[in-house]
A and B are shown apart, each in its own frame.
Chain A
């Protein structure tokens, strides 16, 4: 249980962008998703694209048994501290043992979990939070003190969710009763629930510090844990909510993708996260064998970014030309073997705030050529930084290079070792590069488009736009707020620096006897909601 100092600069409230944990990448301050681990070799193929989510669940729910899940794991860095886990398996364990005040459903909408209600005051900088009648594994009832202690700990130690709850004024926020808190914010925020659903803001009991002996309110209790190897949990008999179907849950770290896949095929585990494109193709979408594919569409965006403060990309016509020079359909086939969908130069596809109405930008090399001519950049040569840091990235760059030739654009590929791609030498330093982002429009905006964003990859600095966004954040009504968010995407679509050519799916697999899996865009394996899974 590490209390290793892990300064985080994660600026991301709510859903945030995540990075895929792939071979040579390593732990970061953000929680790393297992994501899609694929060693794909290019070359398109006739794969059904756009097939959605979960294979049909098996028959009717049944109780009992031990569910065994193979995770990517995080080696010795795995921790039981629910507020500072880094890798996917940390999140997966914390979600069984502890709970959040709000939790995102499969559509990315926050739903009350340990909270019963969250009511705004006259202005949305004051809220009343009411807690559920729940108890910790040790028997202590959940109280306002526990929540306040958790928030103070997260902020004081700058843990994962510190920035998500940065707007809470902890000095003026007060306990109103045993189960009620008067929350005071430093500025009005309409969607406080999303911030309280931040993936590592699990509620721990007041003054708790022995994380080796977890004491949460979650549906499972811990039996044993060895970091980097496995853990065993048992159903929490006193759980306040709907009890898990399975009696026991075993989570095993199997870092090697082939070994993880073999373990599932051989029946040593019942489900695995993060399979390769080629393995997904082997299983097939039909899912009538002993193993089925669990596919989550629109899981994360794969953008190519252009910095607006670069001499060449400062010209809006050049940016549009670059966006028209990519053949999105072909890239999804070539780089993702069809396990993805095309993008429209915006983040947050699939979320309620996504601007669905904007026309889909298509491959048009002729138009690109004439735009470049008008900008005096005919026969443009640019250098694109690429890497194998994310599966499909380098293949996408290679495809783009060829596609852009038709518009008279020469793209020189500069390949960077995967381990170096996100180092300070390259990341946020290059004018034309690739990346991977997840999350809704609003969460990715907080990360990348505001003056205090840590990851402004496009150097976006439209002050008027930024003020409008902050104003929109204070709207309490979700529909009203989303309408403004959608309007705010038009300028990004027209003038932004992103070429979001595609979205890659999460690809997981499970034994066909496992039922109840509901894919979620937040994390692999349906955001690890194991309490609703059963063994047929």
Chain B
């Protein structure tokens, strides 16, 4: 065995284009993710934020090969994932928690079948007794009452369903979990329960998370580092605290200043940078920097050339010509 690399997941030049029919016999590629590179260190939580349509969910799904990447490399634990066998091996270590706890659980399966399904697929038990024990252990991890094992998903509230979803993803004893907006469908008081559970599981099981969300306060709370995406490109990547205290990219600045702070005095004094206009359609994204149409500092250069993501201070990356 080679010694474990520090970077658990490494993404190089990832592109994910979807063909969209735009006319008779004509299709235009929708560049959902366009040339994105980043690494996720072992044991860290990387937050991925951005507005709807920026490609953050697509990044998560493409990493797990739920979509076949158009181009680019996904390197897991120092090994590129290419062949079908690689993917199968990879999926024993990497898994996903979905956004909607209502539609991501099969209504015709009992809780124990839902949680046990990954065990069946990867044949991770020798006897039905072992399978049962494992399911009970998993339900314990997420704070579910073991008496509920034979119930169906509809008998549970949103927060409990999300716990079932998390137990299912823990079944294969993963190292890496892509969490796609796991708390955005939950009520505030339940959100905190689930966020704490993610924290505790990470400590207990040594998990690495890619945490995708649009709620910036939640992401700030849970993440070690945060990446900001806009229209398929990564525009900034830095430590969670650094990016909140000193955002560099004009988009990140505006995005972070737009977050309503739950404190009346701060909220009223807060100078928001309100952007004009809407997010352009990814089908005809602007040339050069995708943000230039809404950017208050855009110059001619921004229309001609996409700025590269470069290190502007140690550990702080941004893609902008003016920096």
Q: Do A and B come from one complex?
A: no
Residue ranges of B at the interface with A (Cβ–Cβ < 8 Å): none
Residue ranges of A at the interface with B (Cβ–Cβ < 8 Å): none
